[in-house]
Structure 1
Amino acid sequence: MIIVVGSVDGLGENFDRLMKVSLEHVRRSRMEDGCVEHTVQVDCENSLRLRFFERWRDAIALEAHFARPGSRAFAQEVAKLCARPPVMTIHEAEEKSF
């Protein structure tokens, strides 16, 4: 399993647009093969920060996601709407049951 965690700090005047394109991206991504979970939330401590959490079946599915035109267009749009460069980390994880 691959886990992606990210955040983006919006600008007040662009935040509604940032939220809209982020929700569109999340909903589109959920339909992709290999997407287990894809969410976006507003940070409770910074109302202009969006936090993303994603789980992908494997690295191949995530690479296919990044290669999609919609994902590239989303990244380009976000770059125009944020106060600083987005942050993203990618983790390989093993699911365990307790």
Structure 2
Amino acid sequence: MILVTGSLVAREGGFEQALALSLEHVRRSRLEPGCLAHAVHIDAEDASRLVFVEQWADPPALKAHFALPASRAFARAIAALAVGEPQLSVFDATSIDARI
């Protein structure tokens, strides 16, 4: 499984638009082949920060997601609403028994 985390701080006056774009992106992404989970959250300690958590079945599914014109347009639009560079990390994850 591939785990993706990301975040951005919305510039002043841009939070509502950033949230709307993010929700649209998340909902569209959930319908893509190989998407196991995709969510956006508002940081409880910084209300201008959005945090993304995604799970993908495998690297090809994530690569296809990143290649979609809608995903590329989202990345450009959200970067324009952010203070600084949005953060993105990609991990190759192995699920373990949660009872450990």
Give the TM-score of the pair, scaled to structure 1: 0.97
The structure in which a higher percent of residues are helix is 1
Q: Structure 1: how far apart are the matches of 2:41 and 2:96?
A: 25
Q: Structure 2 regions of 5+ residues with no counterpart?
A: none
Letter in 1 for 2:80: K
Deviations 1:17-59 (A, max 9, x none): 0000000000000000000000000000100000000000000
Q: Structure 2: how far apart are the matches of 1:46 and 1:94?
A: 30
Q: How large is the RMSD of aligned CA atoms in angstroms?
A: 0.7
Q: Structure 1: how far apart are the matches of 2:45 and 2:11?
A: 15
Q: Structure 2: how far apart are the matches of 1:90 and 1:62?
A: 10
Deviations 1:51-88 (A, max 9, x none): 00000000000000000011000000011100110001
**1:89 aligns to what?**
89
In the TM superposition, residue 16 of structure 1 has moved relative to its aligned partner by: 0.5
Q: Structure 2: how far apart are the matches of 1:96 and 1:33?
A: 24
- Give yes or no for the alignment of 1:33 onto 2:33: yes
The structure in which a higher percent of residues are strand is 2
| 1:38-77 equivalences in 2 (<5 Å) | 38-77=38-77
Percent identical across equivalent pairs? Answer: 45
Give the TM-score of the pair, scaled to structure 2: 0.95
Q: After TM superposition, what 4+ stretches of structure 1 lie above 3 angstroms from structure 2?
A: none
Q: Secondary structure of 2:85's partner?
A: coil
In the TM superposition, residue 96 of structure 1 has moved relative to its aligned partner by: 2.3
- Give yes or no for the alignment of 1:10 onto 2:22: no
In the TM superposition, residue 12 of structure 1 has moved relative to its aligned partner by: 2.4
In the TM superposition, residue 11 of structure 1 has moved relative to its aligned partner by: 1.3
